């Protein structure tokens, strides 16, 4: 891997310009007072502060609503993907890890999902390490940290006036090689030790962790735990947690008429196991009739079934559900309760 580089913040725009010349660039920008991942078309739209976002960047690669094909009675045509590969800038390490996790679902194995793959396969993921944990963050419980590199191609470490820029993959290395000299210079030993200081300060600022290594086995025998009832009592059964989650990936497919055209479209939209319709069968029977079963499914999928299938939890500890749950159901407390109950 190439040597660490330095990007002065005053030259951040030039770096983004290089990205813009090759990629469709997405980053966290303020839209009507809320920071959201949006496509940016000029360098000054993206500020090097990278605010934390309520939503995760999964929507860049797996949009909430995506037209798969359009057609009429005689023919159907699938939609095309982005014209340029996607670069995402200013995602958090947990977000990058989550994208890689989603790639396990959509982009790996015998059959891959073309809609996901056409966006993610060539994407460049530029991660900004977290200098300060946000409320609800718990990536350190799940084997990562504020500067975790899983799923990242390039890591930016904020040292004040500059970023120390490091490649975390061949793809990242290749890009930096080409971009070198344009806005990047070699990081000095002093820059690197500054970056090291920032990283270790961030790691020590992380909240105390609960050991969740036995969680999978505990959940194996917790199907009938009374904890589900207690949780379901206050859970509103909304989908805020699932839709903000960077790894929740369930979807529905619907055909819709396009009014006045005689044509239709087939769309794929996010769905959530918290929704009553999610498992409702044609007969009217619903195997997950109420909040208890739905909530259990969501926790089990993340911390038990996915572990079984992929040997990792489908949770990266980003804390979005913690921050946004209307009734303050804190997944950290939920996990700790199961662990403590054994």
Partner 1 sequence: MAGVEQALRETARELLREGKVGTIIGYVRGSTPFRSTPAFIENEEEADRLVFDVTCGSNLARYVRNHGRDGRVAIVAKGCDGRAVVQYLSEGQLKRDDVLIVGVPCTGVLDHGKVSRLVRNRNVTGFREENGKLVFEGDGFEVTADREDVLADSCLRCRYPNPPVHDVFLDEPAEAAPDGLHWQELEKFEQMAAQERWAFFEKEFARCIRCYACRNACPMCYCEECFVDQSDPQWIGKGIDPSDTMLFHLVRALHTAGRCVECGACERACPLGIRLDLLNSKLEREVHDRFGYTPGTDPDETPAMATYDEEDKQEFML
For partner 1, the binding residues in 86-115 under the rule CB under 8 A are none
Nearer to partner 1, 223 or 276 (CB): 276
Dihedrals φ, ψ of 88, to 5°?
-115, 130
Nearer to partner 1, 191 or 271 (CB): 271
- Joined together, the tokens standing for residue 48 give 């090097």
Q: Does 134 bind partner 1 (CB under 8 A)?
A: yes
The minimum distance between CB 199 and partner 1, in angstroms, equals 17
Tokens 């800038």 sit on residue: 89
Q: In whole angstroms, what is the distance from residue 315 CA to residue 303 CA?
A: 7
Q: Does 32 bind partner 1 (CB under 8 A)?
A: yes
User: Which of 51, 177, 182, 289 is the binder for partner 1 (CB under 8 A)?
Assistant: 51
For partner 1, the binding residues in 65-84 under the rule CB under 8 A are 65
Q: In whole angstroms, what is the distance from residue 176 CA to residue 166 CA?
A: 8
Nearer to partner 1, 3 or 257 (CB): 257
Tokens 């007969």 sit on residue: 283
The minimum distance between CB 163 and partner 1, in angstroms, equals 20
User: Which of 80, 233, 340, 342 is the binder for partner 1 (CB under 8 A)?
Assistant: 233
Q: Does 239 bind partner 1 (CB under 8 A)?
A: yes
Q: Which stretch binds partner 1 (CB under 8 A): 21-29, 161-169, 178-186, 263-271?
A: 263-271
Q: Helices 12-22 and 170-179, interaxial angle, to 10°? A: 110
- Joined together, the tokens standing for residue 62 give 């797996």
Say if residue 233 is exposed, middle or buried (CB neighbours under 10 Å; 0-12, 13-18, 19+): exposed
Nearer to partner 1, 54 or 182 (CB): 54
Q: In whole angstroms, what is the distance from residue 121 CA to residue 124 CA?
A: 9
Q: Does 180 bind partner 1 (CB under 8 A)?
A: no
* 339 three-state secondary structure: helix
Q: In whole angstroms, what is the distance from residue 203 CA to residue 133 CA?
A: 9
Q: Does 201 bind partner 1 (CB under 8 A)?
A: no
User: Which of 145, 295, 332, 335 is the binder for partner 1 (CB under 8 A)?
Assistant: 332
Q: Does 324 bind partner 1 (CB under 8 A)?
A: yes
Buried b (16+ CB within 10 A) or exposed e, 43-69: bebbebebebbebbbbbbbbeeebeee
Nearer to partner 1, 58 or 118 (CB): 58
Q: Does 258 bind partner 1 (CB under 8 A)?
A: no
> Within a 10 A sphere around the Cβ of 11, how many other Cβ atoms?
18
Nearest in space to 127 (alpha carbons), one of 102, 95, 104: 95
Nearer to partner 1, 52 or 71 (CB): 52
Residues that bind partner 1 (CB under 8 A): 31-34, 36, 51-52, 54-55, 64-65, 132-137, 205, 207, 233-234, 236-240, 242-244, 252, 254, 256, 267, 269-270, 272, 275-277, 280, 322-324, 326-330, 332-333
């Amino acid at each position: 891997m190439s040597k660490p580089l330095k990007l002065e913040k005053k030259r951040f725009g030039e770096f983004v310009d290089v990205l813009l010349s090759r990629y469709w660039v997405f980053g966290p920008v303020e839209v009507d007072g809320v920071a959201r991942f949006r496509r940016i078309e000029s360098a000054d739209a993206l500020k090097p502060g990278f605010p934390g976002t309520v939503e995760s960047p999964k929507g860049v690669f797996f949009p909430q609503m995506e037209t798969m094909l359009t057609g009429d009675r005689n023919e159907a045509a699938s939609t095309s993907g982005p014209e340029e590969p996607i670069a995402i800038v200013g995602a958090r390490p947990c977000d990058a890890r989550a994208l890689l996790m989603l790639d396990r679902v959509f982009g790996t194995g015998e059959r891959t999902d073309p809609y996901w793959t056409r966006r993610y396969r060539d994407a460049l993921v530029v991660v900004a390490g977290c200098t300060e944990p946000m409320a609800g963050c718990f990536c350190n419980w799940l084997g990562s940290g504020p500067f975790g590199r899983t799923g990242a191609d390039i890591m930016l470490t904020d040292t004040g006036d500059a970023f120390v820029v490091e490649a975390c993959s061949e793809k990242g290395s290749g890009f930096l090689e080409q971009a070198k000299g344009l806005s990047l210079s070699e990081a000095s030993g002093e820059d690197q030790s500054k970056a090291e200081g920032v990283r270790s300060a961030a790691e020590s600022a992380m909240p105390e962790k609960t050991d969740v290594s036995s969680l999978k086995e505990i959940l194996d025998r917790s199907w009938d735990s009374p904890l589900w009832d207690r949780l379901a009592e206050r859970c509103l059964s909304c989908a805020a947690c699932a839709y903000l989650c960077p790894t929740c990936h369930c979807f529905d497919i619907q055909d819709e008429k396009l009014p006045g055209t005689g044509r239709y479209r087939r769309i794929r939209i996010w769905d959530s196991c918290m929704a009553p319709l999610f498992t409702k069968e044609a007969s009217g029977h619903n195997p997950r009739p109420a909040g208890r079963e739905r909530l259990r499914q969501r926790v089990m999928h993340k911390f038990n079934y996915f572990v079984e299938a992929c040997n990792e939890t489908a949770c990266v500890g980003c804390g979005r559900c913690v921050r946004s749950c209307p009734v303050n159901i804190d997944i950290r407390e939920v996990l700790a309760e199961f662990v403590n109950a054994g």
